[in-house]
Amino acid sequence: MVLSVMNLGKGGSGKSTLTANMAPLLPTIVSGAKVLVINLDDNYNAQEILAIPYEEVLLGIDDYLFGAATREESTYHSKWYVDVMPVRDQAQMDSGVPSEMKMRELVDEARTNYDFIWLDATASAKAWTVAATLAMADAVFIPVVPDHIDTLAGAVKTLDRIRGVQTSRHGKPVIAGIIQNMVKANSSHGLEGIRDTLALGDMVQVFRWQIRDFSSIEVARSKGTPINWASGPQAAEAAAAMKEIMWHWLSEQTDRRGQRR
């Protein structure tokens, strides 16, 4: 399954942080699951959290897409139980547009080796990586920060783009859910408020990542550690909240497959 966390706002929705924290949870929930994270973003955030610092990347996804490396050469194994195709040179990613066929070849090949593939795309609606992600993703999570107006506007843009693609891709990518991200425990923002603001109806699940202190995430990030393996009670609370979201979503997928049978 190909997944993505996407918000076409100005950044700040936490999509790379969510990607780097959600992806390594999958092998702990789905026993033996193999996970690949592909960084298509215009920053190094996701790979840094997964302990793949850009200064140690000899060949990356940019080299693969422009024919200078194989998939194996540009894939690194993170100590956090996932493989990562990081960006080596962001300028190279921005300098040209590789063929969509090359990107499709990568994802098709990866599907045979991995159970889950996470595409971390940029927030820029005009970027080629957004179009490529929506052309290949099976499901997309959309993060919003309740007090961040740009992320709400970005969520609306993302929903519109997804619905436009769904007509030509027979309903894919599905909207895996809206994640109210970085919500403090005493926040008055409710799930129904986000549902009404985004005109979601009843078919889209709204999740809520609510914890008391998000400084634990920044500390973990600075150490190249996903929140599930960070130390301290605040980190444990954040990890439990994230795991609950993943459990809920995976259970929903199992129920849907059972209904189709």
pLDDT at 106 over 60: yes
115-141 per-position pLDDT tens digit: 999 999 888 877 788 888 999 999 999
- Is residue 135 within 8 Å of residue 27, measured between CB atoms? no
pLDDT at 238 over 90: no
Q: Which pLDDT score is estimated for 96?
A: 64
160-203 per-position pLDDT tens digit: 999 999 999 999 999 988 888 776 666 655 666 677 777 777 77
Question: How many domains in the chain?
Answer: 1
Q: Which pLDDT score is estimated for 254?
A: 63
Please tell me the distance from the alpha carbon of residue 89 to that of residue 92, in angstroms, as a whole number.
Answer: 5
Q: Which pLDDT score is estimated for 77?
A: 96
Query: What is the reported pTM?
Result: 0.89
Q: What mean pLDDT is predicted for residues 199-224?
A: 73
Task: State both tokens at 174.
Answer: 């599905």
**Can you give the residue range of the structural domain that contains 245?**
2-260
> Which CATH number is 14's domain given?
3.40.50.300
Res. 99 pLDDT band, cuts 50 70 90? low
Average pLDDT, the chain: 84
* CB-count exposure of residue 220 (10 Å: 0-12, 13-18, 19+): buried
Res. 54 pLDDT band, cuts 50 70 90? confident
Q: Which pLDDT score is estimated for 190?
A: 60
Using the CB atoms, write b or e for 134-148: b if 16+ within 10 Å: bbbbbbbbbbbbbeb
Res. 5 pLDDT band, cuts 50 70 90? very high
Q: Which pLDDT score is estimated for 177?
A: 87
Above pLDDT 70, what percent of the chain? 87
Q: Which pLDDT score is estimated for 138?
A: 94
- Cα-Cα-Cα-Cα torsion 87, 90, 96, 99, nearest 10 degrees, comes to 10
* CB-count exposure of residue 1 (10 Å: 0-12, 13-18, 19+): middle
Q: What mean pLDDT is predicted for residues 45-69?
A: 91
Above pLDDT 90, what percent of the chain? 39
